[in-house]
Structure 1
Amino acid sequence: MNRIKIIASCLLVSITVFQGNAQQKLKLQYDKPSTNWNEALPIGNGRLGAMVFGNPQKEELQLNEETIWAGEPGNNVPKNVYSNIEEIRKMLFTGKNKEAQDLALKTFPRQAPANLNYGMPYQTAGSLWIEFPGHENYTDYKRDLDIEKAVSSVSYKANGITFKREVFASFADDVVIVKLSANKQKSISFSLSANSPQLLSTSKTQENKLIFEGTSGSADNKRGKIKYVGQAGCTLKGGSLTTTADKLVVKNADEVVIRISIATNFKNYKELSINPTEKASSILAKASKKAYAESFQNHLTAYQKYFNRVSLYLGDSPQSEKTTDVRIKEFASSYDPQLVALYFQFGRYLLISSSQPGNQPANLQGIWNHKLSPPWDSKYTVNINTEMNYWPAEITNLSEMHQPLFSMLKDLAVTGKESASEMYHARGWNMHHNTDLWRMTGVVDGGFYGLWPMGGAWLTQHLWQHYLFTGDKEFLKEYYPVLKGAAQFYLDVLQEEPEHKWLVVSPSMSPENTYQIGVGVSAGTTMDNQLVADVFNNIINASKVLENDNKSFADSVAVALKRLPPMQIGQYSQLQEWLHDWDKPNDKHRHISHLYGLFPSGQISPFRTPQLVEAAKNTLVSRGDVSTGWSMGWKVNWWARLLDGNRAYKLIKDQLSPAPLAEKGESGGTYPNLFDAHPPFQIDGNFGCTAGITEMLLQSYDGVVSLLPALPEEWKNGIVKGLRAQGGFEIESMEWKKGKITSITIKSNLGGNLRLRSYSKLKGKELNLAKGENSNPFFEKPSVKDPIISTKAHFSGLKIPDVFEYDIATLKGGSYTFSAEE
């Protein structure tokens, strides 16, 4: 009898949890219009983006199209610099570091020289304005962004009538759609106009359409050659439509649907041959033939195909009924697990909305930017930010969203041959720490921040990770030349340093950091060594998988791999950032690039390399928690890899604190619209934190799939569905109570051995205690050299938690369910 009661009680708890999961609203909601851009709400379909402000009297839709960038086709590779690069190498190897930095700045000045550019800015198309006469006074105002449906809504009462707006960027029809409705017929009257900050821009009406067009701006020595055309048309139920020279005027309609199409002349990074007028007209005409209900349903189906793959429940709280801006303000002092779940899903929403297959990758602001000269040009910064944008792609079941990044890598493997050959006299391809629409690969920001030839090394990790998650051999075969070209470059540029005869990259730097005042250029930084090790291991493993005719090349890579420096632990018991023990104990720099080996790479592991883990932790503690938004996002992932869920959650609380009003600085946080702040806005922090939350719940590296590796005390009960792991494994459902797994179902999409790691003892008929190395080739662990440890270093010892490890022989397409032993 008692056993029956216990089972009934457990079932009741389970039902309660699942009901809570079903009832949670995935909405950003507000009770007042936005007063600035960081309060407006983002919509996007990968190509088109809009920020919806929600003002009753005068609605603004600030518009973006992903290919509106300043400038024109062309690379930015300088000529005749190889001899200076050789001289810089000699200076670094003879201790003349300051002289090396001076020569680097002379060779690559901080301001772009007359014959070069340091990259083009991503730019806005302008804004569409919907002005409603007589709506100055309003009540019952509500504004929201429903990320389950990818639609933003506004409702209010004016003159006794309830008005509603619904706005979405259609994934099916490739237009922005606005539906205006009211609870009283003949109530909708407004004017529609457009403007742009672009110097070369016009707006007019033609054939009952609003036409706005322009040409992108010039920068450095590059003329703006992107031509764009926007067209907006209205479909009315009742009422009338008239035009002025530059406005559409609607009067006394029952309902209106506005469709907005934008196109440019961009075909690819080297060709501008598309007719933007014809393209915009064709898209708009096709979309306008469909009824609103059909358009919305098609949009919903296309969007939810991706979004609905993953759900997350972490608990319920009355805070969820409050407006989002209030919840952010109160998060540090209130229990609000739903805000974490919302923020997690918001990151997935942003990735789906800014990175669709066949389009451009998400840039520094995704696709949302209202300026001609945005912060950091809103380019692709590849010494962390672009990579961070795509950390959630595989693990949160959005593998297709990775495709634009892969496509850009193919382009860079072409343009990067110029920088590899001209600057370094090397084979293969490379790039530095920035690129743009035109796929530039030369130095950006001069010889201080820009002399970092490692962008390709990091970006190509995404190719290998995609293969590890999907097992797609055809993909690996297609992108093998990109991987090989990156490896060729490093084979050719590695230099023998004089003290240990290690092979190192020189000149380079540890991204944006210095080891003495004004000096950052260096040789053999820890991050470089980790990146090259991953590049070499990837090409060796890819050659094995493909069984191609490149064995001799893989053998030469393997020889060089053995000569890379080991990681080192310095005098402060820290993971050394540079080849020499130059770290400063009071350094609070936002970049902690040498922890790349901990995450996103898997070279450092609590179970394999405990001394390196302790040194990495010491570094992380020394740097502190509060920093720029993206830096705090990265720290969530690091603390998750250190198996410290409470500290990772503390970083989430730091991230989900109100962003400062300052436009500049390094004290991040979150804006009222959930955008991440550097400040100002950078989207990478959103993506980084979404990845970090996932890493707290599921990790797949180190030869295992690890369940709830870094669960904080605040998430006592929860359910997650749809996360992905290496080897093609998918968490169909994982439930936990009181911090311990109660049940898990895993689908095997590729078959092969599944090795599970859990803090809880599991039961199930397929389970076997793990023995030896994991036989699944997708879980091969990297070989890491023993670190060199300073005689001054002191280890207190880290307590590594006890775990259970199991092997399950899975079949392709099979699902396997396990539960925790009581």
Structure 2
Amino acid sequence: MKYCLLFLLLAGPWAYAQPAPQHNLHFSTLAAVWDEGIPLGNGTLGALIWQKGDHLRFSLDRSNLWDLRPMKGLNRPEFRYDWVAQQVQQNNYALVQQYFDAPYEAQPAPCKIPGGALEFDTRLWGAATDVQLNIATAECRVQWKNGVTLRTFVHATQPTGWFRFENIAPDFVPQLRAPQYTGNKDQAAGGSIAGDDLARLGYTQGTINVHGQTILYRQPGWNGFTYEIAVTWKRPGPGILEGTWSISAHYPRQPATPAANVVRSASATTYANAYTQHTHWWQQYWSKSALQLPDSTIEKQWYLEQYKFGSVARSHTPVITLQAVWTADNGRLPPWKGDVHNDLNTQLSYWPAYTANHLEEAASFTNWLGKTKAAGEKYTRQYFTAAGLNVPGVQTLDGQAMGGWIQYACSPTISAWLSQHFYWQWSYSMDTAFLRRQAYPWAKATAQFLESVTRPQANGKRQLPISSSPEFNDNDISAWSYQNTNYDLSLMKYAFRTAQEMATALSLPQEAAHWQTLEAALPPLALGTDQSLQIKENTPYTTSHRHFSHLMSIYPLGLLHWENGAADQAIIRRSLQVLDSIGPQGWCGYSYSWLANLKARARDGEGAARALQTFAKAFCLPNSFHANGDQTKSGYSGFTYRPFTLEGNFAFAAGVQEMLLQSYAGYIHVFPAVPDSWKEMNFRDLRTQGAFLVSAGRTGGQTDNITIRATQGGKARLLLPFHTWIISGEKGVISRKVKDGFMEISFRKGGHLTLHNGYE
């Protein structure tokens, strides 16, 4: 009876899986700047709700609004890895910068571009008194002093946004505002962080036409590209205005449904009906996983990150770019052109998806990489003159290189890092078809490239011609090394190792043996005399830096395992001690998110929680957007600027999950890195490698229940967190075996097992 009661108490919080009201955004007034607006999105469309002067403003965006003109200079015959290596050797690096770095700053495009805005005149309403984002339903509600109310959402599965006003005057109508693409092109450069003025794109200003209760805006772009925004509305009752909007992108030879047709079709239904369809998707999304923590700040931020992830990722939508569907609405291009940054930005953006059980949304990354793979293969032949696959570190929406700091913009190990997401998508789903059709072909082509581009040395070890560690020494010639940096070395080891594992799973023993041989031919990681990971051999980490690229072997790659014992533990512990001792002067917000994951792998729950708290407190805007710099100016970083990017947000969520559940070492470990003060907590349906869903709870500082569900069947290995236990439920369990503190369970597909602490 005791354990039945305990089970009911633990199950109580999960009676419904939706976020709680305390996780919502709630303000007493509308934001006065675009990047603090209420964010809405569906992976294709996005909106930010805020107040611009005396008008309510919806900043409208679409993920594939891009100026895709080629970056000048990258068609030069010198655009080759071996030519760059020659210039480094000849101490002529200024020429490399002139050819391949300077154009990124000098040219406004290729780049992500904004859509436009809806505005509503609120001068007669008084101030907004209540602004809420309900993240469970992805709906924003606003109330004004005079009683006017607004409800608005971006439809979860349709390319439409909706709005409904109540208590408005009969003549109230929306207004469509176009971005200003005309102006002084010669004096409008803002650089990659501030963003160039839109006038530098050289577009002819689009036209806005009003036809009854419909407004249509068409904007021509580069080389035949156009986009269209349409909004239509109706008055279903006294004092009510209900409307819908959409954006369509039109590229030559790529048919797309015009936005006018989309809103015409959508307007046949009602706000209420569309809202019901919309909330069904979000109910399913939130049902995938949940958690409760004793730290309300970290818990709320985790839910806000899950909300934003659900707003920007779908299996059929483009990759998450720097700002995804929330491009700057300030008359300028977004920070760093809003591009596809594989320096770490795309990778960190998908870190939390797998454990949070959002594999379908995570597929937006691997599917997009598959669609642009041919462009990557062409780039590999052009720049590296090598076989196999590597992709640019800075890309356009269609996979073309954009230049920039050549060390990471054209790094030889980009595809190796991206291969981790193919590996994770497979290992967390155990989808053999995905492994055969997508994951292994990517991993194999990447391994073939690395075999081609590396050269055996006199000592028999393989070496890149030149290597770097982003973003150490920035774009200076000193950033290059004739030794493998730990960054490149870790990624090469990982690429060969995962290719071997995938080949083995597909019963390809000869290929697996070949990749194993190549991994063995790589030199060991560079360690200092104190056993800390260095940037490269004889180059310790001595200056605070935002990018922890030398620590890749700890996280995310997991080549060094705390579970391996004293040797690996010493390296991990000492490397993080050095990182802490140098301090955060050079860190950004995402550095703290990454640090939380590193600390969790080192079993330092206190350190992980502290990093997460700092991120949420100092590096986020009121709407939870990651602003890169320390917004409190409290010494958490030397950067105090505020360019908005998303990777720090999503890496934060991954850090929370690493504290609660780890499976990378070949077994399930619940609550591996939580602070001692976290006595009461639980989580539901976090996913592990091997395709198991795990739920667990703690009471009084002790783990007292674990449930494992097998989505595919197979063997799960569990590190038992209690000495004695009660089996309170099981189905589809073939066998159980306990040895040395581990329980190995063989499941049929759909099987489950629930254990409770025996409280010996």
Question: What TM-score, normalized to structure 2?
Answer: 0.87
Correspondence for 1:597: 553
The alpha carbon displacement at 1:679 in A equals 3.1
Deviation string for 1:369-391 (max 9, x for gaps)? 12542111111111211000101
Give 1:207-222 correspondences, 5 Å limit. Answer: 207-216=212-221
The alpha carbon displacement at 1:759 in A equals 4.1
Aligned pair 1:461/2:440, yes or no?
A: no
Q: 2:614 is paired with a residue of what secondary structure? A: helix
The alpha carbon displacement at 1:225 in A equals 4.4
Distance of 1:15 and 1:419 partners within structure 2:
53
Deviation string for 1:460-508 (max 9, x for gaps)? 211111110111111111113322221111110002345x442122323
Q: 1:259 is paired with a residue of what secondary structure? A: strand
Q: 2:424 is paired with a residue of what secondary structure? A: helix
Query: Quick one: which of 520, 528, 538 aligns to 2:479?
Result: 520
The alpha carbon displacement at 1:261 in A equals 1.2
Correspondence for 2:430: 471
* AA matched with 1:750: Q
Correspondence for 1:713: 676
Correspondence for 1:370: 328
Q: Residue 669 and residue 492 in structure 1: after superposition, are their counterparts in 2 closer, same or farther (change >3 A)? A: farther
Distance of 1:746 and 1:9 partners within structure 2:
20
* AA matched with 1:151: E
Q: Residue 205 and residue 533 in structure 1: after superposition, are their counterparts in 2 closer, same or farther (change >3 A)? A: same
2:668/2:688 contact within 8 Å kept: yes
Distance of 1:421 and 1:172 partners within structure 2:
39
The alpha carbon displacement at 1:761 in A equals 3.0
Query: Quick one: which of 809, 816, 819 aligns to 2:746?
Result: 809
Correspondence for 2:297: 339
Give 1:327-726 correspondences, 5 Å limit. Answer: 337-371=295-329, 372-441=332-401, 444-447=403-406, 449-479=408-438, 480-498=440-458, 500-514=459-473, 519-522=478-481, 523-547=483-507, 552-578=510-536, 580-585=537-542, 587-608=543-564, 609-625=568-584, 627-659=587-619, 667-668=629-630, 679-726=642-689
Query: Quick one: which of 132, 135, 142 aligns to 1:147?
Result: 135
Correspondence for 2:196: none
Correspondence for 2:730: none
Distance of 2:174 and 2:474 partners within structure 1:
59
1:260/1:284 contact within 8 Å kept: yes
Give 1:265-304 correspondences, 5 Å limit. Answer: 265-266=250-251, 272-274=252-254, 278-304=257-283
Query: Quick one: which of 34, 38, 49 aligns to 1:52?
Result: 49
Distance of 2:627 and 2:524 partners within structure 1:
35
* AA matched with 1:120: P
* AA matched with 1:126: G
Correspondence for 1:264: 249
Distance of 1:600 and 1:665 partners within structure 2:
23
Correspondence for 1:319: none
Q: Which moved more, 1:340-349 or 1:42-51?
A: 340-349
Deviation string for 1:409-446 (max 9, x for gaps)? 1234211222222222211121232112131146x214
Deviation string for 1:151-198 (max 9, x for gaps)? 11101331xxx221111100233200001123xx86783443322233
1:121/1:377 contact within 8 Å kept: yes
2:606/2:674 contact within 8 Å kept: yes
1:397/1:723 contact within 8 Å kept: yes
* AA matched with 2:670: L
Structure 1 residues not aligned, in runs of 5+: 217-222, 239-252, 267-271, 316-336, 772-803
Correspondence for 2:693: 730
Q: Which moved more, 1:55-64 or 1:679-688?
A: 55-64
2:243/2:267 contact within 8 Å kept: no
Q: Residue 121 and residue 623 in structure 1: after superposition, are their counterparts in 2 closer, same or farther (change >3 A)? A: farther
2:590/2:628 contact within 8 Å kept: no
Q: Residue 434 and residue 747 in structure 1: after superposition, are their counterparts in 2 closer, same or farther (change >3 A)? A: same
Query: Quick one: which of 38, 61, 72 aligns to 2:35?
Result: 38
Give 1:147-296 correspondences, 5 Å limit. Answer: 147-158=135-146, 162-182=147-167, 189-199=172-182, 200-216=205-221, 223=222, 225-238=224-237, 253-266=238-251, 272-274=252-254, 278-296=257-275
Correspondence for 2:187: none
Distance of 1:7 and 1:426 partners within structure 2:
62
Q: Residue 310 and residue 677 in structure 1: after superposition, are their counterparts in 2 closer, same or farther (change >3 A)? A: farther
Query: Quick one: which of 746, 749, 770 aligns to 2:711?
Result: 749
Aligned pair 1:126/2:116, yes or no?
A: yes
Q: 2:617 is paired with a residue of what secondary structure? A: coil
Q: 1:513 is paired with a residue of what secondary structure? A: coil
* AA matched with 1:45: N
1:413/1:430 contact within 8 Å kept: no
Q: Which moved more, 1:517-526 or 1:144-153?
A: 517-526
Deviation string for 1:380-405 (max 9, x for gaps)? 11121100010111110110112221
Distance of 2:288 and 2:486 partners within structure 1:
38
1:487/1:536 contact within 8 Å kept: yes
Q: Residue 750 and residue 7 in structure 1: after superposition, are their counterparts in 2 closer, same or farther (change >3 A)? A: closer
The alpha carbon displacement at 1:760 in A equals 3.3
2:30/2:51 contact within 8 Å kept: yes
Q: Residue 682 and residue 664 in structure 1: after superposition, are their counterparts in 2 closer, same or farther (change >3 A)? A: closer
The alpha carbon displacement at 1:517 in A equals 7.2
1:173/1:295 contact within 8 Å kept: no
Structure 2 residues not aligned, in runs of 5+: 183-204, 634-638, 728-734
RMSD: 3.2
Distance of 1:742 and 1:677 partners within structure 2:
44
Q: Residue 144 and residue 454 in structure 1: after superposition, are their counterparts in 2 closer, same or farther (change >3 A)? A: same
Correspondence for 2:732: none
Question: What TM-score, normalized to structure 1?
Answer: 0.80
Correspondence for 1:779: none
Aligned pair 1:99/2:91, yes or no?
A: yes
Q: 1:637 is paired with a residue of what secondary structure? A: helix
1:27/1:147 contact within 8 Å kept: yes
Q: 1:814 is paired with a residue of what secondary structure? A: strand
The alpha carbon displacement at 1:811 in A equals 2.0
Correspondence for 1:243: none
The alpha carbon displacement at 1:610 in A equals 2.3
The alpha carbon displacement at 1:59 in A equals 1.1
Distance of 1:37 and 1:113 partners within structure 2:
24
Q: 1:419 is paired with a residue of what secondary structure? A: helix
Distance of 1:434 and 1:510 partners within structure 2:
15
The alpha carbon displacement at 1:752 in A equals 1.7
1:768/1:806 contact within 8 Å kept: yes
2:160/2:246 contact within 8 Å kept: yes
| Paired residue total | 713
1:59/1:130 contact within 8 Å kept: yes
Q: Residue 100 and residue 693 in structure 1: after superposition, are their counterparts in 2 closer, same or farther (change >3 A)? A: farther
1:487/1:539 contact within 8 Å kept: yes
Q: 2:444 is paired with a residue of what secondary structure? A: helix
The alpha carbon displacement at 1:99 in A equals 2.4
Distance of 1:526 and 1:431 partners within structure 2:
20
1:452/1:507 contact within 8 Å kept: no
The alpha carbon displacement at 1:346 in A equals 1.4
Percent identical pairs in the alignment equals 22
The alpha carbon displacement at 1:207 in A equals 4.5
* AA matched with 2:442: V
Q: Residue 472 and residue 677 in structure 1: after superposition, are their counterparts in 2 closer, same or farther (change >3 A)? A: farther
2:235/2:241 contact within 8 Å kept: yes
